[in-house]
Amino acid sequence: MQQEIHQLEPQAVWKHFANLNAVPRPSKKEERVIAFMEKFGASLGLETFQDEVGNVIIRKPATAGMESKKTVVLQSHLDMVHQKNNDTVFNFDQDGIQMYVEGDWVKAKGTTLGADNGMGVAAIMALLESDSIPHPPLEALFTIDEETGMTGAKGLKPGVLKGEILLTLDTEEDNEIDIGCAGGIDITAEGTYDMVDLPKDSIGYKLTVNGLNGGHSGMDIHRGLGNANKIMNRLLYEASNAGEIAILNIAGGGLRNAIPRESVAQFAVLSQQAAVEKAIKNLAKDIQKELSFTESKLKISLTEHKMEGGCMQQNSQNSLIAALYGVHNGVFAMSPAIEGLVETSNNLARVEIGDGKIKIGCLTRSSVESGKYDLAHSIKSVFQLAGYEVTLSGEYPGWSPDPNSEILTVLKSQYEKLFDHTPEVVACHAGLECGILGSHYPDMDMISFGPNIKGAHSPDERVQISSVQKFWKFLKMILTQIPNK
């Protein structure tokens, strides 16, 4: 199957993508991919070095006749989101991604594909390796830990880069040129609860929510997708109103930047067993009907399950369910300045309950700094009312659009010449590194673009082969049109 990938066009790009995907590269564990990239740069005889935080920079001189052009920074991130289906046996710390071709798409077997942002990395590698593609002076910037904190971009020091133009290859619609993005902030709520013994005559249940699409918590937040944590909480709320239940544990969601696809809860019914079962099953049908257009594969199952250990004390349980119900999830505000742009949102990303401990994680995004903190403080207040300790961390700024950008003019004109139609100039609700990099290099002219990637941050992630061909053609043409210094 991997050989099949190598044969796709443009072969130079797909070869590097396949080689990259053979290297495990989880966020915050990028040692192997950093070494891989340093070895690659050294093998080409190019200036290659690692900065203080682990970003890899590779410099390549201009081709003959283009020495007078402005230096271009080509940027993509090395890490990838790790998500897999529950029934997929895979170790992200050890295994390479297993890819296959289906029609015009490249997919992975039960895991995320790593096209976000591996396609950008592979394209840059192909440019660095080529001895026939005309280009200005290049600086390749491969950042680390973009997906779980953007610590690579945050740690990049002013003065390390010499370039005047930044081309970030990290967007997912090939007809779009991105000139702005949202900022974000992580919210973590933690607490403890008293555990009590289960009554001997209680009946144990396992409640499972799965089959959801998941997706990128920025780019897909407006699509009306189901959030497994919110669905689970609705079901538990309904059950607790129909009878007396006692929660033992809940495990839902995963990474903050992925919309939760699955959640599992174990609880006991202490009274009104038939009413509790009926309430859950009736609400499950209602939720499936609500989400029938966006989540046709949603499954909600309730099975009797042997229970062991202690459960939540009732007051703690009531506070938890109320807090999770009260926390906003999804789109909070649309931009009044840019039609169709989500301005502010929140993703209730992770719920971990068990053994007397509570941990809840959210990611709040906004293209308006004050709006970001307004929603974050609202969510923080809900959790504080439930008695939890709340931490705001991992803050990163948005990227303010510059419609008069010189490099934007270049990209628009070249896109129209190549493809005979006008590109969409947009700002996105995802967190691109441009905002952070711009804070270190305020005079750098920045743009972001890329090939069609669907289902990023989920095991349904896929990249379109014909779009990669279009993206590669566009990128090469742009490099021939860079303005003079």
Q: Dihedral sign, CA of 192, 194, 200, 202?
A: negative
Q: How far apart are CA 405 and CA 216, in angstroms?
A: 28
Q: How far apart are CA 113 and CA 100, in angstroms?
A: 10
In this structure, what are the phi and psi dihedrals at residue 61, rounded to the nearest 5 degrees? -65, 160
Q: 3-class SS at 77?
A: strand
30, 139, 145, 146: which is the annotated catalytic residue? 146
Kindly compute the dihedral angle of the four CA atoms of residues 435, 436, 439, 442, in this order, to the nearest 10 degrees: -60
Q: Which residue has the tokens 């396609």?
A: 119
The alpha carbons of the chain give a radius of gyration, in whole angstroms, of 24
Based on the residue annotation, tell me whether 79 is a catalytic residue of this protein: yes
* Total length of the chain: 485
Written in H, E and C, the secondary structure of 216-271 is ECCCCCCCCCCCHHHHHHHHHHHHHHHCEEEEEEEEEECCCCECCCCEEEEEEEEE
Q: Which residues of 69-104 are buried (b: 16+ CB within 10 A; e: fewer)?
A: bbbbbbbbbbbbbbbbbeeeebebeeebbbbeeeee
* Alpha carbons within 13 A on the beta-carbon side of 196: 16
Closest CA to 214 of 365, 84, 91, 343: 84
Q: Which residue has the tokens 């607790």?
A: 240
30, 79, 139, 262: which is the annotated catalytic residue? 79
Based on the residue annotation, tell me whether 395 is a catalytic residue of this protein: no
Q: Dihedral sign, CA of 470, 473, 475, 480?
A: negative
CB 175 within 8 A of CB 182: no
Residues recognised as catalytic: 79, 146
